[in-house]
Chains A and B, each alone.
Chain A
Amino acid sequence: MNFDVTPVEVVTREFVVVILAGFGNELLPLTGEHGDEPCPKGLLPISNKPMLDYPLSWVEQSGIKDVLLICPSSHRPAISHYIHSQSSSASFSSVHIDLQTFDESQELSAGTCSVLRHFANRIKEDFILIPCDFIPPPSLPLSKLLNKFRTDTISDGSIVTSCWYEHKPDKLATPDEWGSPVQPTPIVWDHLTGTLLYVDSPHETDKNSDELELRMSLLSRYPQAKLSSRLLDSHVYVCKRAVLDLLAQKTRFDSLREDFFPWLCKLQYQSTKREKYATSIRIGIIIHRADDGFAIRVNNLPAYLEANRHIVTENEMHQFVADTSIGDFTRVEEKSTIKKSTIGKHCVIGKMVKIVGCVLLDHCVISDGAKLDGCILGNSTTVGSKAVLVGCVTQAGYEVKDNESVRHEKLDISDWAAQPEDSEGDVEGSAGEEESDEDED
């Protein structure tokens, strides 16, 4: 017991923020290890700012002081360094971040429910669950959610306020090899009261893949319900502490969106269930329309690329060339063109390089005459001279050889060892052609 600290906390905290920073398996190979160093998802830069900056500054703006940041234990040093490093602590001086680790294997990542159950004893008050990969739009301050939660909890026993956003994907198609963007989950909500009524779950799809089955008792209570398959879960939930108690009761639930919320929705209109668990339950919902500002969850590669593009166009301050931001200490040699891209710090870009619609993380080295189109290059990727990459993603530290040409692939280190013999022969011819084109330019 630390006697120096306790008297300070006279005012009880209203909320604690729980930020979950997972492995980011969907972002592989970007989140793959670089040698022995992990590349935590939360630290991947979006427009040259670590991803975590976005939710953290969102939290800070709302005036909340306490953050419980949960990450896998292998990421702890990197994230701890980030928290205490100059850049972030300067901007988040008012936020107290409690870094906790949760052991899960990269292969079998635990669902949010399990993580929350594990940390239930650390959460003593109402909490806000925020994923590390949500890029909140400026038009949606966190306080808007909090205010809805505050009014709802007082007036009619709401226990959760969730936030769903509409996302219109860019026309620019990303290669199929990157994985398809997250499909929206059909939900039903009541517009008048802002109540989430039904969340479709894989379980329901298994039961009846052709039809959505809605209980008549739901429709009787909320006769003007809306159903949409256009909304995505921001995974931002403002929850009462009681949610943890419910989670503790329902031990078999793993995923919040797929298991827990569909179930919780049913409590609202099924009297038998409600009697068993609570007197009255309501789930608030805030819907953020695409027209009101760009929101995205960066939980897959296409989204990562898209987020970078969007944030760049929004932050005109850093703009170097049109639609491009270039990080500090990066060197760009003569006759190179860079369009619609984000270049990290300490990169070296050679002569006659063409970069269109790419994201380069820090310390990338692009040799002369290389062409990159729609690529994401992990930390310290080196691209050989006159190499051509179209729609590729590389793991940190990957090396692209001279004159190599790759299309639509995820390049990770293990593949790379075996690759050259397979592909180079076929590819060289085309690379050569490209080369000549470039010279003419």
Chain B
Amino acid sequence: MSPNTSSSTGKDKLIVDEEEVLQAVILADSFNKRFKPLTTHKPRCLLPICNAPLLDWTFESLALAGVQEIFVICRSHAELVKTAIKNSKWSKPGAGLKIVPIVTAKETFTPGDAMRDIYTHGIITSDFVLVTGDLVSNIRIGDVVREHKERRKTDKDAIMTMVVKQSGVNHRTRSRGDSAVFVIDPETSKCLHYEAVTGYPPKKYASIPREILNEHPEVEIRNDLIDCSIDICSVEVPSLFQDNFDYGDVRRDFVHGVLTSDLLMKSIYCYIAKEGYAARVRDTRSYDSISKDILARWTFPLVPDDNHPGGHSYEHLRGNKYIAKDNSVILSRTCKIGNNTLIGSKSQIADNAQVIASVLGQQCIVGAGSIVRNSYLFDGAVIGPNCVVEHSIIASGVHIKERTRVERGCLIADGVVVGPQAKLAPFSRLSKRRQDSDEEDEEFEDAEEEVKTATTEDEVDSELEDVEANQDPEALAKLGPGTNAIIWPLPTVDEDEDIDELEHPDNQRLMRIGDNASDLVLSDPGSITSSGQADSAVISEFQQEVKQSLDRAFAEGHSVDNAAVELKTLRMASNVSLRLVREAVIAAIVSRIKIMAGGGIPQRQEIASMISRWGGLIDKIGGVDPVETVEILQEYCASSDRLPLFGQILAALYQDDIVDEDDIRAWHGNSKSQGQGVKPTSLQDNYNKCWVTGAHMIKQFDEQDSDEESEEDSDDGSESRDPVVENPVTKELPSAGANSSEENSCEENSDEEDEGNTDEDDSE
């Protein structure tokens, strides 16, 4: 393969030959849709920022760095880009730059695809500068290149140097939605780990591989760097993209992949720029902040009054106001121009109009009494009288008619007419209806129409069609009678579509102009360990109240129904689970059963009377779940001194039809009933005792079935045969048998048929 050989010889040459031509590659496509619909007819790199196309700013930055040969990789609207390059001042002979546009296939969807395209073109002969077509920078990239080459002499595996700018975490130019944590060796500034950070949903943890500490015991974790997307790459970078065809993004895939790969053995370095300015227009929000940075002269010497990439000349006035120098700007005597404002030539600002912290293109008109604040008007935009435009981007040729209100975050594409008296909702995105767009386009920018490739046309058209087909007439009506606009829908997530987290609408909100995203929860308050305790506070309060309520009910002899109503109300108020209510009721009832000294018949009577009086309450609290009732009874008995009464109480509940045979069997079959997994092991014994009691009761049921004994008999039997209990139980209940002769009041009857019991035991 010829490109391969040429590039490898180029690399060898580099080390020998210092006088290498410095190449740069500009990825002129954004590969995302954050500027839609502004970019339906124009690539992002040709959008003006401070009245000069982004691409020109990028050329300017590269020229400053001493780059001699530039390849511009374009995809959508490639012909437009080509024309722009042809007309650029940098293409003139004597500019010292050789700019070569390269059109990639329509299937180029990611920067990674573009890199693979570069590889197949075989244009790269030495270390090169990789930037995006939306860069604004005054960083001396030449120094970085020199540093990179120096490093390459000693470390052949250093394939890339990323330029990052030191700032603060919440710097306005630092993207909140798409930033990164860099782990850097402070001595060599080698990048050891790259952790992409997406703004929403907020990332909670940065995971730093422990193994990097083996070789680099002391590292810096930087969360305050602006990634300028300026990379000094070695010739093998395109081939690495070629080898790893799944690399899409340069950062999230390539850098991450190289750093985590055990096979590649390549290293990537960072260049932390402490001085200078560099930033990318990644989204509308950074468009806003970078415009402000330019106006505030952070990009010096690239400022509107000097070195303006568009070749305009502006006069710099106090308060960072810039007015075109050619005396063509017409400012009314009563208009107000705020700080940080740029006004292009031939613009007119009428009486009492206010333009604050905004950028106006050429031939813009702001009508009388209108207010334009924090907004960006491209060439030829017309704002009628008494309008308000806040925090929006208004593309060229837009006409906003009188008394229209454009709320923050609106993007209005070329040639749209809105109003009069329209009210645009915040974050509306408008573009021109296609039918009439065809005609007007020919008037306005006929060049564009001719050169557009068929493929991009199709793509755009299909999307436009979609949007046009789904217009809401009511919303359209609000845009005023004279409108030719269509409204782009709010971004939504298609359930089936596998959308990138980065491009998720919620995350994109962090990148929108004018969106402060105050309703998104971005801060991470830390793990909430307190919630459990808060809940337990609610629960204990509830239990307290239930106890009081039942105390009253018992003391004053309320009816079961009244008590139930009171409980229901309490439950609603505290919003606790039904089980808690049941627990409270059972605990209340059981705790009121007096323990009779002698046991035997008086005890049974006590239980029977209590259950018959209050047992009904258990099923009247809002739900019936007898199995749970038995469980709770077991739980309560196991942990209280009522343990010996478990059997009798269960029998009484059975007697009163609160639980029936099947429920007891179901409970008995449950593994938890045997005390498995019960926390204090001391309680496990008690659980087991209860379970054994239940087991006997079930045997008894079985016998009843077979013997067809009457219920009464069995009951009588249970009273009288206390002592006999000892026999079957001794094995399993050595202690329980001793201290509670009548706990097993129900199962005693089973003794009559010992053989039956043992069978039962075996089967279980």
B337 to chain A, nearest CB (A): 37
Known contacts A212-B210, A230-B217, A272-B525; A223/B205 CB under 8 A:
no
Q: How far is the CA of A271 from the CA of B521 in the complex (A)?
A: 14
**Cβ of A145 to closest chain B Cβ, rounded Å:** 22
Q: Are A216 and B202 in contact (CB under 8 A)?
A: yes
Interchain CB contact (< 8 A) of B213 among A225, A229, A269, A271: A229
Q: Are B207 and A211 in contact (CB under 8 A)?
A: yes
Specify which of B208, B220, B529 is in contact with A212 (CB 8 Å cutoff).
B208
Additional A-B contact list (18), CB under 8 Å, known A212-B208, A270-B524, A272-B525: A210-B210, A211-B209, A212-B207, A214-B207, A216-B197, A216-B202, A216-B204, A217-B525, A224-B222, A224-B224, A225-B220, A225-B221, A227-B213, A228-B218, A230-B218, A271-B525, A272-B528, A274-B526
Q: Is A30 an interface residue (CB 8 A)?
A: no
Would you give 8 A-B contacts (Cβ < 8 Å), ordered by A?
A: A211-B208, A212-B208, A213-B206, A216-B204, A217-B523, A217-B525, A226-B219, A227-B208
Given A211-B209, A214-B208, verify A270-B220 contact (CB < 8 Å).
no
CB of B527 closer than 8 Å to a CB of A: yes
Q: Mark A198-211, 1 if CB is under 8 A from B, else 0.
A: 00000000001111
Contact partners of B107 in chain A: CB under 8 A = none
A residues in contact with B181, CB < 8 Å = 216, 219
Q: How far is the CB of A351 from chain B (nearest CB, A)?
A: 48
Contact (A214, B217) CB under 8 Å given A220-B169, A272-B527: no
Q: State the CA gap A230–B213 with chains docked (Å).
A: 9
Query: Which residues from 163 to 201 on chain B have a C-beta closer than 8 Å to any C-beta of chain A?
Result: 168-169, 181, 183, 186, 197
Q: Determine if A227 and B183 form an interchain contact, defined as CB atoms under 8 angstroms apart.
A: yes
Shortest CB distance A276–B (Å): 6
Query: Are A226 and B221 in contact, with the CB atoms below 8 A?
Result: yes
Measured CB to CB, the closest approach of chain A to B100, in angstroms, equals 40
Q: Please state if A227 and B206 are interface contacts (CB–CB under 8 Å).
A: no
> Which positions in A face B, CB cutoff 8 Å?
184, 186, 188, 208-217, 219-220, 223-230, 266, 269-274, 276
Please indicate the chain A residues that have their CB under 8 angstroms from the CB of B222 in the complex: 223-224
Known A269-B526, A270-B527; judge A228-B169 contact (CB<8 A).
Answer: no
Q: Do residues A271 and B526 form an inter-chain contact, with CB atoms below 8 A?
A: yes
For A217, the chain B residues whose CB sits under 8 A away are: 523-526
Judge whether B218 and A209 touch: CB under 8 Å: no
Could you say which residues of chain A place their CB within 8 Å of the CB of B183? Answer: 227
Please name all residues of chain B whose beta carbon is closer than 8 Å to the beta carbon of A228 when the two chains form the complex.
217-219
- Is A186 touching B220 in the complex (CB atoms < 8 A)? no
- The tally of residues in B whose CB lies under 8 Å from a CB in A reads 33
Of A184, A227, A266, A274, which is within 8 A of B220 by CB? Answer: A227
| Contacting residues, chain A, for B528 (C-beta < 8 A) | 272
Contacts of B221 in A (CB 8 A): 188, 214, 219, 224-227
Q: Note all chain B residues with C-beta closer than 8 A to A273.
A: 526-527, 529-530
- Whether B224 pairs with A226 at a CB distance below 8 angstroms is no
Cross-chain contact A272 with B206 (CB below 8 angstroms): no
> Which partner residue on chain B sits nearest A191 by CB separation?
B220
* CB nearest to B225 among chain A residues: A223
What B residues does A229 contact at CB under 8 A? Answer: 213, 217-218
Question: B153 at the A/B interface (Cβ < 8 Å)?
Answer: no
Residues in B with CB closer than 8 Å to A224 are: 220-224
A208 to B209, alpha carbons, bound, how many Å? 10
Q: Give the nearest-CB partner of B531 in chain A.
A: A272
Please tell me if the beta carbons of A223 and B208 are within 8 angstroms of each other in the complex. Answer: no
- The interface residues of chain A lying within 8 Å CB-to-CB of B197 are 216
Q: Assuming the A-B contacts A216-B206, A219-B206, are A210 and B211 also in contact, with contact meaning beta carbons closer than 8 angstroms in the complex?
A: yes
Which chain B residues lie closer than 8 Å to A212 at the CB level?
207-210
Closest to A216 in B: B203
**Which of B168, B181, B205 is packed against the most chain A CB atoms within 10 Å?**
B205
Given the complex, which residues of A lie within 8 Å of B530, measured CB to CB? 272-273, 276
B213 touches A270 (CB 8 A): no
Q: Are A186 and B523 in contact (CB under 8 A)?
A: no
Q: Which residue of B is nearest A213, CB measured?
A: B205
A219-B223, A227-B221, A228-B217 given as contacts; is B525 within 8 A of A270 (CB)?
yes
C-alpha gap A260/B517 in the complex (Å):
37
For the complex formed, measure the closest distance between the CB of B655 and the CB atoms of chain A, giving whole angstroms: 47
Report chain A residues within 8 Å CB of B224.
223-224
CA distance A184 to B208 in the complex (A): 17
Closest to B203 in A: A216
Shortest CB-to-CB span from A259 to chain B, Å, is 14
| CA gap between A284 and B607 in the complex, in Å | 65
Question: Does B524 lie within 8 Å of A186, measured CB to CB?
Answer: no
Closest to B181 in A: A219
* A271→B526 CA distance, assembly (Å): 6
How far is it, in angstroms, between the C-alpha of A271 and the C-alpha of B197 when the chains are bound?
A: 21
CA–CA, A319 and B428, complex, Å = 85
Q: Which residues of A contact B220 (CB under 8 A)?
A: 224-227
CA–CA, A273 and B527, complex, Å: 8
Q: Point out the residues of chain B lying under 8 angstroms from A220, CB to CB.
A: 169, 223
A227 touches B524 (CB 8 A): no
How many Å from the CB of A185 to the closest CB on chain B?
11
Name the residue on B nearest A219 (C-beta).
B223
9 tightest Cβ-Cβ pairs between the two chains A and B: A270-B526, A223-B224, A211-B207, A219-B223, A223-B223, A230-B217, A229-B213, A228-B218, A213-B205
Distance to closest chain B CB from A418 (angstroms): 40
Bound form: Cα–Cα A174–B634 in Å = 61
Complex Cα distance, B210 from A214, in Å, reads: 12
**Closest chain B residue, CB of each to CB of A228:** B218
A214 close to B206 (CB less than 8 A): yes
How far is B184's CA from A227's CA once the two chains are assembled, in angstroms?
Answer: 10
Measured CB to CB, the closest approach of chain A to B703, in angstroms, equals 51
In the bound complex, residues from chain A placing their C-beta under 8 Å from that of B204 are 215-216
| Binary contact track B221-240/A, C-beta < 8 Å → 1, others 0 | 11110000000000000000
Q: Which of B525, B526, B528 lies at the interface centre, i.e. has the most chain A CB atoms within 10 A of its CB?
A: B526
For A223, list chain B residues within 8 Å (CB). Answer: 168-169, 222-224
Give the nearest-CB partner of B526 in chain A.
A270
When the two chains form their complex, are residues B526 and A210 in contact, meaning their CB atoms are under 8 A apart? no
Chain B residue with Cβ nearest A208: B207
B168 to chain A, nearest CB (A): 7
Q: Which residues of B contact A209 (CB under 8 A)?
A: 210
Residues of A within 8 A of B168 (CB): 223
- CA of A134 to CA of B660, assembled, Å: 71
The distance in angstroms between the C-alpha atoms of A269 and B526, with both chains bound, is 8
Q: Kindly state the separation between the CA atoms of A227 and B186 in the bound complex, as whole angstroms.
A: 11
The answer for the CA separation of A229 and B211 in the assembled complex, in Å, is 11
B526 near A215 with CB under 8 A, answer yes
- In the complex, what distance in Å separates the CA atom of A228 from the CA atom of B214? 10
Q: Which residues of B contact A211 (CB under 8 A)?
A: 207-210
CA distance A29 to B206 in the complex (A): 44
Q: Which of A209, A227, A271, A276 gathers most chain B CB within 10 Å?
A: A227
Contacts of B223 in A (CB 8 A): 216, 219-220, 223-225
Give the nearest-CB partner of A212 in chain B: B208
User: For the complex, what is the distance from the CA of A219 to the CA of B174, rounded to whole Å?
Assistant: 15
Query: What B residues does A188 contact at CB under 8 A?
Result: 221
Are B525 and A227 within 8 A (Cβ)?
no
| Residues in chain A near residue B210, CB distance under 8 A | 186, 209-212
B207, A215: Cβ atoms closer than 8 Å? no
In the complex, which residues of chain A have a beta carbon less than 8 angstroms from the beta carbon of B219?
Answer: 226-228
From A184, A225, A266, give the contact of B526 (CB < 8 A): A266
Residues of B within 8 A of A230 (CB): 217-218
Provide the residues of chain B in CB contact with A276, threshold 8 Å: 530
Q: How far is the CA of A270 from the CA of B530 in the complex (A)?
A: 12
Proximity bits, B134-167, A CB within 8 Å = 1, else 0: 0000000000000000000000000000000000
Whether the Cβ atoms of B524 and A216 lie closer than 8 Å is yes
Set of chain A residues within 8 Å of B525, measured between Cβ atoms: 217, 270-272
Closest to A211 in B: B207
Q: Give min CB distance, B224 to chain A, whole Å.
A: 3
Per-residue interface assignment for chain B, residues 557 to 592, with 1 indicating a CB less than 8 Å from any chain A CB and 0 otherwise: 000000000000000000000000000000000000
Tell me, in angstroms, the Cα distance from A213 to B221 when the chains sit together: 12
With A186-B210, A224-B222, A225-B221 known as contacts, the answer to whether A215 contacts B169 (CB < 8 A) is: no
